[in-house]
Structure 1
Amino acid sequence: MIGNSIKKIDYEGNLLGGKSYTEDYIDYRNLLYIKVKRSPYAFAEIIDIDTSRAEKLEDIVAIYTYRDVEQIRYTECGESYPEASPHDRILLEKIVRHVGEEVAIIVGENIEACTRAEKLIKVKYKVFDPILTKKDSLNLKDIIHKEDDGFEPFDFGYDPKKNIVSKFHIGYGDIDSEIEKSDIVFSGSYSTHAQAHAMMETLRAYAKIDERGRLEIISANQSIYHMRRQVAKVLGLSLNQVRMRRIRIGGGFGGKNVCITEPIVGFVTWKTKRPSMIIYDRIENFNATSTRHEMDFDLVIGANKDGKINGIKMRGYNNTGAYGSNGPAVTMEAGQNTLPIYSVINAVDYKALTYYTNRVSAGAMRGYGTPQGTFALDSAINELSEKLGLDPVEVKLKNTIRTGHIGGLNKSTIGSFNIEECIKRGKELIDWDNKRFKLKDEGHIKRGVGMGHATHSSGVSNIDVATVLLRLQEDGTFTVFTSSSDLGTGSDTILLQIAAKALNTDMEGVNLVSGDTDSCPYDKGAYASCTTYLTGNAVVRACEKIKEKIFEKAKKYLNVSTEKMKLEKGKVVNSENNKSVTLKQLGIDSAVSPNAEAIMADATFGIGNTPRPYAVSFVEVEVNTLTGKVDILKYVSVIDCGQVINPNLARIQAEGGITQGIGFALYEDVIFTDKGKLLTNNFFNYNIPTRNDIGEIIVDFCPEKEPTGPFGAKSIAELVTNSPAPAIADAIFNACGARIRSLPITPEKIIRALEKEED
């Protein structure tokens, strides 16, 4: 079961168009359709809304504005409780803070009527100058959140009267002293841009009143328990009044870990007592959901001539947009998931803050701040290496952690970190020593190679928790009940492989029920690369517990102590005489006999200190110095994600994450006008890489088993997105000498850098 490329358990149903996604579960009888009227302004106050003409239209059921909504502040982010995000949003309020914000909710018998009504609603605004930049925000050109009822669930530095969402500081050692004593001091500033999730399935949700009068919501979301908590708060309901269900997800990447559409359908259905549905079109998905956080970094690194780094000082600035969703945690992780790899050096100092602007809110996105922080830190070390005249590979190897290390920013012993083997293998696959240092070809087409590396987490230390329920059925098979979310990654398959291994059976002997707050126990949800490690560990624990209960039940058949029993496929065996009893017999005894006592076990696993996976990226590019065009020829990623549970699914995860990282580095950009209007709000003008843009991708694994992981596993999902950008930037420099410190790396930036070098 472990190390076997078993097909995803839902692959056939999905490929054949089976009942899988949110719309497949909608009952269209008596269904209400919803459309949202949105603000054309980035920052304004609603003076008046006239809905009278729209309400007279045939098939319009209701139009709701801020006058109809209880002014309860909440956070849309789906994080563990208490959320590391301010409660600063209201479903509908008088102040709009970004173009595309909700102004009115239109409810009708069909979407055509809602569309006509939207055009007839007249809104009078008092328009303010938008705040779009760090300078305008922190210099208090205006205050974006002037209300007094916003709050932080715990102290993370929330100061809205200064447009500050959070402040963060970690470090150790005497940073100033270490930099002062260094032979060379390198400083540089780096900037990363926003990035859209660009998932195939846009946000959507469906709600109905169940047979007991409760609110039931079905959506493609990443964390059902967090979604339920936010919806209940918006509507003033108890948790018991809300049932949240998660259906198959057509791409998430963090964009479905925000509670956006669920409160809207919940509000409409609770008001009307009729089922309702909302489906965002592609432009709405760009304009009114969330993006990756735009971040800036200033770095100072002190090092000796031999490449030994003494200290790293890093300052971060995080543009979270109109609302604080995920902002504080992303600011933390931009340092906490990048700097620990250098915890062998003498001093590290990271300070960062999160600030508001009048742009669509940033939220969770694959990597969660780590791609931003890794681009800055790894690029700076690549530049430092060049100034020292040293191979960046050797500089990084000299200054990074190893298995067994403890100290610095790592709070516990590093159980596995196969960095040397990963780098050795990556160098071989890219032919690093020959290509990095050879003389460059004459002419305008230049080739070069670059390197970047990264670590991540396997869940969030001392916060993340998952509970799994396991039951023996009457036919002798097992059912796993979990609230984890499969984002299309195949995590449901992974969990069943883990269960099958722990129970000494095969995939036919296990089944899985997931995604329902009424039947499945608490799980923090699918984010922070946690499912295999966090929920997988809970599965292993539940399997150990249920084995003990099965052995106790088997005593009456085997007449032997439990210590002398072993679990085999479909049966319990007395190891002394090979006498056995079938699991089917025990299942019948525990389910349908007059004296039945169910054989079930639940187990909870909470992360203490998260283990760290590792990935190194080597990339070969071709740069046209006349046009600035970059072509990726070959991309090599070598990964230590611990024991690889399912190699095929792990490889697909890596290839997808690398492609998103390439898009982040070269193609994707979220562009606003000076009035805060998003220009890149569709796939005609928002460029994501196609298969022709990513060259040859080679993924290899050099796993080192993680002693705390389920059968030695760690995470992979976000890790692979973190290192493409610095590797590509380094390769471009190696090819043509253009050093680019801001993303995306466009042809224009390369041409300007080359012209500057010529001057």
Structure 2
Amino acid sequence: MSKSDDPTPAGETADTSEAEEANPVEWDEAPNNRKAPGERRTVSHREEKDDARKIVTGEAKYTADYAREFPDLAEAVIVRSDIAHGVVEDIDTSRAEAMEGVYAVLTPDSPEVPDKPYTSAGQSYPEPSPWDLRVLRRKARFVGDPIAAIAAEDKDTASKAARQLDVTYEEYDAVFDTTEAMAPDAPQIHDEADVENVQPGADYERNIEAQATGEIGDVDAAFAEAAERADLTVTETEWETPYQSHCVPEPHTTIAHRDEDNRYHLISSTQVPYHTRRQLAHLFEVPIRDVRVSKPRIGAGFGSKQGMIIEPIAVALSEAADRPVMVETTRREQFHAVRNRRPARITLRSVVTDDGDLRALDMEAVTNSGAYGPHGMTVAISIGKKPLPLYTHTPNIRFGMTAVHTNLPIAGAIRGYGAPQGHLAVEGHMDEVARDLGIDPLELRARNVVSEGDFEVASGVLKDGEYGRRIRSCGLDECIAEGRAAIGWDDLEQPDEAHLHRACGVALTVQGSGVPGDELGAAHIKMNEDGSFILQTGAVDIGPGADTVMAQIAAEVLGVPPADVLVQPSDTDISPFDHGAYASSTTYITGQAVKKAAEDARGMLFEFASRLLDEPESAFTIGAESVVSEASGASVSLEEIGYESVYGDEVRAHVMGEASHCTEESPPPFGAQFVDVTVNEETGEFEVNDMVYAVDCGTALNPDLVEGQIEGAMHMSYELATGDGITFDADGRPEVMGFRDYDMPTTADQPPMDSIIVETHEPTGPFGAKSVAEIPVNGVPPALSNAIRRAVDVRIGDMPITPEKVKTALDETR
């Protein structure tokens, strides 16, 4: 897409486009959506997370806890490839099948196992991921590929049976590096003829899953101009990130069985019940009505459960064993056989004036999808489209991405969804530009950063035609100011020891609120006789407290305490439709559906109040657990309405409300990450003294939960910055088998953290809210890298940042 034939330098105004005119700053906002803090009954209050006490007392029920409800339950073990690349020529199952207590042994040739391609990515239909997976695989493409599965009376028996399988392979050469994978003579991992729903730019002969480039303005012309002018500076940087595990406390778990109506019923720790239902129906060729997916409490997801990973194996085993089957992954499987954050290599070039105005940004990302393609294209796209909106005023922007297959584990969705990799590059690069110009890094950002009222186009760099979104809320200036003061940016005290150096680093962050135009949330609420309510949504609370916030939103509309709104867990037979928990969409999308449904129910309350008080409906407002006439002051309690509505003599009708919500809007939250570090120039060791994150998430509907999201995400971000990630030996075998091997910071290792909430008002969100779940995971790697650069003048661009890398870089400068 081209913004104009003659790119407009930063600081000047271009002609208004049709897209910009179609997205005015003003938004037709419901009058009750904008409430002053003192007028809010339940939202913005620090309500206790509704399941907190159940979790800490052990009363909460997770998927595995439902096993006791199935006396004839079988437990499963998945047999996985121990080679990185090759064909399974034969699996001798005879000894395993002869064992007592073994109910079923499945191979790719078993009749219960579908032999058709699908994607595990839990995304909307049609999925923007290739259909390149099989339930059990004849061709192994990484160490950990599922090639067989066993159901037995218990897991110990299933594990013993698994060791009795005799597997014969024809082994192929493997490739583990993305550059080598794209070479003409590299082993070919997929045959395009075996893949359906092939993605744009795919070239399977070069192991490329997807590829795309987009441009705003004329980037080459900007660099050509810079080569001729002394007042334009070109800066080039390179960045790299490793595999990262989600480290969810609860492993992937699914129980599959046939219910009394002979339908498939799955109890599963999934973030996407409705997507899983659809995909299972497609895979097993049954009507959607014959599949039910129930989601109990989930022990965290972080994107790892945004996919149909073990559910098909559970169904196939249940069919073969003719009984309920539970598949529960081991911690070892969680690290190498489920999903992880994909590694990325990113290069970034820029052109900037002597005054610090950005004239061009040229970004290229190559990602490692691993052996298969779920989320491969969309995450790679997000590496650019997520952080580049910070500098949308840059008149010339180009972004290219290439998603590459290797014989390493499958990458997938994980908190941030490409944004952490992209922010490392963009925000690290900005500090290098500031150094080249000799100006303060905050000053450089202030000259170029997006602000409220702007029409942001950079997130559409890969789209055809004109695209843009209006920024109707942006608290970046306040985030920077508050974070700067909290970290002590302007008054750091240097250590007395000459070999110790202290400095602060900063990184700005941005995310989104759902996938614009590609989300749907629905809600249904009904009133009990006593004036309490039952709320049903398809939204999936994966731990952060979404159910609590939904109750607060409904309670705000209906005038009751949040405790009087019981939120039911997601179940595809009972709950309204929802795309699931991903893309920071739950509060923004489903929250708006809940607000609308509660308003629908409120309309019925007013109808009954009108009959009971003999006043027009227009006279009423909601009071504390009552409906109040603004004209006369008369009131009627919700309990009175509840009994009248279902037992009254004149009109009987159940007070209910329902609504759906989808939108083309995706208002970005904004944040500023600050890190204070002391570096030992003699050893390369560094100590993080403090981490401060200030976030604009619109209205904080529950400040306790917002702060919990910030601190949890900062911990995850700090791990990406300093942990070793998941490593492999020369044959592609994982070297991380459990938490003992994984370099995740413990509570003793975690530096101090401070969270700051900067409230703005987003008119398109429920009571002014935007998202907050993912954005804080983006900032620590670039902020820490920038802090070390300012402290001792060395740049670490490949994560993790380690004392050894700092020491090596220091030695090279001497």
2:143 paired with 1:99: yes
* Cα displacement (A) at 1:578: 2.7
What residue is the counterpart of 2:5 in the other structure? none
Distance in 2 of aligned mates of 1:506 and 1:721: 32
What residue is the counterpart of 1:299 in the other structure? 348
What residue is the counterpart of 2:191 in the other structure? 146
Distance in 1 of aligned mates of 2:653 and 2:321: 44
Flag structure 2 segments of 5+ consecutive residues without an equivalent: 1-41, 227-231, 460-467
Distance in 1 of aligned mates of 2:254 and 2:646: 37
2:203 paired with 1:162: no
User: Of 481, 486, 501, which aligns to 2:541?
Assistant: 486
Distance in 2 of aligned mates of 1:245 and 1:332: 32
What residue is the counterpart of 1:676 in the other structure? 732
Kept after mapping to 1: 8 A contact 2:51/2:60: no
Structure 1 stretches of 4+ moved >4 Å: 438-442, 592-595
2:472 paired with 1:431: no
2:92 paired with 1:50: yes
Distance in 1 of aligned mates of 2:81 and 2:409: 12
What residue is the counterpart of 1:15 in the other structure? 56
Distance in 2 of aligned mates of 1:498 and 1:8: 14
Kept after mapping to 1: 8 A contact 2:389/2:456: no
What residue is the counterpart of 1:277 in the other structure? 326
Kept after mapping to 2: 8 A contact 1:293/1:320: yes
Paired amino acid for 2:256: A
Paired amino acid for 2:283: V
Paired amino acid for 2:191: K
Paired amino acid for 1:67: D
Kept after mapping to 2: 8 A contact 1:631/1:693: no
User: Of 442, 445, 469, which aligns to 1:393?
Assistant: 442
SS at match of 2:50: coil
Kept after mapping to 1: 8 A contact 2:85/2:171: yes
Q: Percent identity?
A: 33
User: Of 397, 401, 422, which aligns to 1:352?
Assistant: 401
What residue is the counterpart of 1:523 in the other structure? 578
SS at match of 1:345: coil
Paired amino acid for 1:51: T
Kept after mapping to 2: 8 A contact 1:86/1:158: no
* Cα displacement (A) at 1:589: 4.2
User: Of 458, 473, 477, which aligns to 1:409?
Assistant: 458
Distance in 2 of aligned mates of 1:269 and 1:552: 51
SS at match of 1:447: strand
SS at match of 1:100: coil
Paired amino acid for 2:74: L
Kept after mapping to 2: 8 A contact 1:19/1:25: no
SS at match of 1:417: coil
What residue is the counterpart of 1:542 in the other structure? 597
User: Of 630, 633, 642, which aligns to 1:578?
Assistant: 633
What residue is the counterpart of 2:4 in the other structure? none
What residue is the counterpart of 2:25 in the other structure? none
Kept after mapping to 2: 8 A contact 1:179/1:303: no
2:778 paired with 1:737: no
What residue is the counterpart of 1:311 in the other structure? 360
What residue is the counterpart of 1:189 in the other structure? 238
Distance in 1 of aligned mates of 2:568 and 2:773: 22
Kept after mapping to 2: 8 A contact 1:223/1:524: yes
What residue is the counterpart of 2:702 in the other structure? 646
Could you report, residue by residue, the CA deviation over 1:309-362 in whole angstroms, capped at 9, with x for unpaired residues?
111010111111111011111011111111011111211111111111111100
Kept after mapping to 1: 8 A contact 2:525/2:597: yes
Flag structure 1 segments of 5+ consecutive residues without an equivalent: none
Kept after mapping to 2: 8 A contact 1:180/1:302: no
* Cα displacement (A) at 1:565: 1.4
* Cα displacement (A) at 1:28: 4.1
What residue is the counterpart of 2:124 in the other structure? 80
* Cα displacement (A) at 1:287: 1.9
Q: Residues 648 and 713 from structure 1, CA distance in 2 versus in 1: closer, same or farther, beyond 3 angstroms?
A: same
What residue is the counterpart of 1:174 in the other structure? 218
Kept after mapping to 2: 8 A contact 1:338/1:373: yes
Identify the range of structure 1 (732-741 vs 317-326) with the bigger mean alpha-carbon deviation.
Answer: 732-741
* Cα displacement (A) at 1:95: 0.3
Q: Residues 668 and 480 from structure 1, CA distance in 2 versus in 1: closer, same or farther, beyond 3 angstroms?
A: farther
Q: Residues 600 and 159 from structure 1, CA distance in 2 versus in 1: closer, same or farther, beyond 3 angstroms?
A: farther
Paired amino acid for 2:341: R
Kept after mapping to 2: 8 A contact 1:152/1:158: no
SS at match of 2:347: strand
Could you report, residue by residue, the CA deviation over 1:285-306 in whole angstroms, capped at 9, with x for unpaired residues?
1121010011111111000111
* Cα displacement (A) at 1:45: 0.2
* Cα displacement (A) at 1:756: 1.2
Distance in 1 of aligned mates of 2:517 and 2:799: 33
1:490-639 equivalences under 5 Å are 490-592=545-647, 596-639=652-695
Could you report, residue by residue, the CA deviation over 1:468-495 in whole angstroms, capped at 9, with x for unpaired residues?
1121222222221111111110111011
SS at match of 2:377: helix
Distance in 1 of aligned mates of 2:85 and 2:647: 64
What residue is the counterpart of 1:71 in the other structure? 115
Paired amino acid for 1:384: V
Could you report, residue by residue, the CA deviation over 1:440-461 in whole angstroms, capped at 9, with x for unpaired residues?
8653333221111110001111
TM-score when normalising by structure 2: 0.90
Distance in 1 of aligned mates of 2:740 and 2:767: 45
Could you report, residue by residue, the CA deviation over 1:95-114 in whole angstroms, capped at 9, with x for unpaired residues?
01110111111111122221
Distance in 2 of aligned mates of 1:129 and 1:748: 33
User: Of 409, 416, 420, which aligns to 2:477?
Assistant: 420
* Cα displacement (A) at 1:181: 3.3
What residue is the counterpart of 1:472 in the other structure? 527
* Cα displacement (A) at 1:156: 3.1
Identify the range of structure 1 (138-147 vs 100-109) with the bigger mean alpha-carbon deviation.
Answer: 138-147
Distance in 2 of aligned mates of 1:461 and 1:730: 32
2:756 paired with 1:700: yes
TM-score when normalising by structure 1: 0.97
* Cα displacement (A) at 1:75: 0.7
Could you report, residue by residue, the CA deviation over 1:358-378 in whole angstroms, capped at 9, with x for unpaired residues?
111000111000000000111
Paired amino acid for 1:231: L
Distance in 1 of aligned mates of 2:214 and 2:611: 58
2:339 paired with 1:290: yes
Kept after mapping to 2: 8 A contact 1:551/1:562: yes
What residue is the counterpart of 1:239 in the other structure? 288
* Cα displacement (A) at 1:592: 5.0
Could you report, residue by residue, the CA deviation over 1:622-645 in whole angstroms, capped at 9, with x for unpaired residues?
223333222211111111111111
1:365-376 equivalences under 5 Å are 365-376=414-425
Distance in 2 of aligned mates of 1:165 and 1:590: 58
User: Of 22, 46, 59, which aligns to 2:101?
Assistant: 59
Paired amino acid for 1:417: C
SS at match of 2:455: coil
2:172 paired with 1:128: yes
Q: Residues 223 and 150 from structure 1, CA distance in 2 versus in 1: closer, same or farther, beyond 3 angstroms?
A: same
Distance in 2 of aligned mates of 1:157 and 1:596: 60
What residue is the counterpart of 1:220 in the other structure? 269
Paired amino acid for 1:334: I
Kept after mapping to 1: 8 A contact 2:208/2:403: yes
Could you report, residue by residue, the CA deviation over 1:533-586 in whole angstroms, capped at 9, with x for unpaired residues?
111111111122222222223332222221111122332223222333332333
Distance in 2 of aligned mates of 1:171 and 1:539: 39
SS at match of 2:666: coil
Q: What is the aligned-residue RMSD (CA, Å)?
A: 1.7
Could you report, residue by residue, the CA deviation over 1:50-86 in whole angstroms, capped at 9, with x for unpaired residues?
1111111111111000001221111111112221111
Could you report, residue by residue, the CA deviation over 1:236-278 in whole angstroms, capped at 9, with x for unpaired residues?
2221111101111112111111211211212212333311111
Kept after mapping to 1: 8 A contact 2:428/2:786: yes
Paired amino acid for 2:506: M
* Cα displacement (A) at 1:216: 1.0
